[in-house]
Amino acid sequence: MTEFLFFVFSAAALLSAVFVVTSRNPVASVMFLIVTLFSLAGLFVLLEAHFLAVVQVIVYAGAIMVLFLFVVMLLNLGHAKFADVRGPLARMLGGAFGLGLAAFTAWTLLGGSDQLTNARLAGPDPIKAALDARGAIGAVAVPLFRTYLVPFEVTSLLLLVAIVGAVVLARKEAP
Amino acid sequence: MSPMLIRVALLVSAALFAIGVTGVLVRRNAIIIFLCVELMLNAVNLSLVAFSRLLGIEGQVLVFFVMAVAAAEAAVGLAIIIAIFRHYEDVDVERFDLLKW
């Protein structure tokens, strides 16, 4: 059952990601990206990252994508007269580069995971103990607020800068 | 969770990242390019979660930070796109040539 769901979510994520790039209407692109994000949330659940799956749905699919949709509709981009895809040469170069990058990234990631898998099969499951002891949220919260407390606080500063920057950039010029 | 599924997750992550890069290279609409950048960030998140199954919970903490940076980046980037649209009445990146020459 886990395997079946895993393949269904993977296929949905990849298919709708392709549609994000190929669809002509920006609103449709945003909708397909939401499907991709939901499928990734499903994959996160199957990979034992339950808290991240919830954050993915609430923050990404909920907040960030609504922001994108809001801007697309604010700028009234729904009905382009002709597609904004580049010419055939750029399309071929982009596709070839994408395929090469996919092959190289897959090769590197799988090589790294093979070494790690062999090392892991010797020892105990690295995150099962934390999940059992502290629950899905506590397992993420304890390292976040102990080891990574300073980066966490810096992140709050980053968000403040982003808020101020967005307001300054998007407001109308002073009269 | 078998090692096979972790390999599948890493393959999906690589493919998603490549689709995002292709979208950035092929499209001219600034908002679609932005969506493809989000796609790349999510591909990285997926591989971080998959590796956290092998290395420990720290990978999931890192995904948390990536999401925060993505939210900040989306807010500022969309504000820039709105400001550019107000100036050019368009979001085609071919027309943004103010800094080009």
A71 → closest Cβ in B8, B61, B81: B81
Express as a percent the part of chain A with pLDDT over 70: 93
Same domain, yes or no: A8 and A72 = yes
Express as a percent the part of chain A with pLDDT over 90: 45
**Of the candidates A79, A95, A116, which is a domain's last residue?**
A79
pLDDT of residue A113: 78
Tell me the average pLDDT across B7-33. 91
A46 belongs to a structural domain: yes
Per-residue pLDDT for B63 more than 90? Answer: yes
Choosing among 3.40.50.2300, 3.40.50.1980, 1.10.3720.10, 1.10.287.3510, the CATH entry for B3-95 is 1.10.287.3510
Same domain, yes or no: A1 and A75 = yes
Residue among A75, A76, A95 nearest A85 (CA): A95
| More reliable by pLDDT, A122 or B85 | B85
How distant is the alpha carbon of residue A7 from its chain centre?
A: 18
Tell me the average pLDDT across A28-44. 94
Tell me the C-alpha distance between A96 and A118, whole Å: 33
Q: How many distinct structural domains can be found in chain A?
A: 2
Which region among A23-27, A64-68, A80-84 has the lowest average model confidence (pLDDT)?
A: A80-84
A113 belongs to a structural domain: no
Same domain, yes or no: A5 and A72 = yes
H-state helical runs in chain A: 2-22, 26-46, 50-55, 65-74, 88-122, 128-145, 149-170
Q: Is A153 exposed, middle or buried (CB count within 10 Å of its CB: 0-12, 13-18, 19+)? A: exposed
Tell me the average pLDDT across B56-72. 92
Helix, strand or coil for residue B92?
Answer: strand
The band of A116, judged by pLDDT with boundaries at 50, 70 and 90, is confident
Same domain, yes or no: A2 and A75 = yes
Per-residue pLDDT for A174 more than 60? Answer: no
Tell me the C-alpha distance between B35 and A16, whole Å: 12
Crossing angle for the helix pair A2-22 and B30-55, nearest 10 degrees?
160
**Of the candidates A79, A114, A147, which is a domain's last residue?**
A79
pLDDT of residue A133: 82
A106 belongs to a structural domain: no
Helix, strand or coil for residue A84?
Answer: coil
Residue among B9, B22, B45 nearest A10 (CA): B9
Q: Do A72 and B31 touch (CB under 8 A)?
A: yes
Per-residue pLDDT for A75 more than 60? Answer: yes
Tell me the C-alpha distance between B7 and A45, whole Å: 16
A159 belongs to a structural domain: yes
Residue among A97, A48, A165, A37 nearest B55 (CA): A48
**Mean of all residue pLDDT scores within chain A:** 87
Per-residue pLDDT for A47 more than 60? Answer: yes
What's phi and psi for A80, nearest 5 deg?
-75, 145
Q: Chain A, 115-154: which have a CB under 8 Å from a chain B CB?
A: 116-117, 119-121, 126-127, 130, 139-140, 143-144, 147-148, 151-152
A33 belongs to a structural domain: yes
Q: What is the CATH number of the domain that holds A47?
A: 1.20.120.1200
**Of the candidates A79, A108, A143, which is a domain's last residue?**
A79
Tell me the average pLDDT across A121-125. 70
Question: Is the whole-model pTM more than 0.80?
Answer: yes
A127 belongs to a structural domain: no
A86 belongs to a structural domain: no
Q: Does residue A57 contact residue A34 with C-beta atoms inside 8 Å?
A: no
ipTM of the complex: 0.91
Q: Angle at CA B25, nearest 5°, toward B77 and A36? A: 65
pLDDT of residue A81: 60
B49 → closest Cβ in A47, A116, A152: A47
Highest mean pLDDT among A36-40, A112-116, B91-95: A36-40
Q: By residue range, what is the domain housing residue A57?
A: 1-79
Q: Does residue A42 contact residue B48 with C-beta atoms inside 8 Å?
A: no
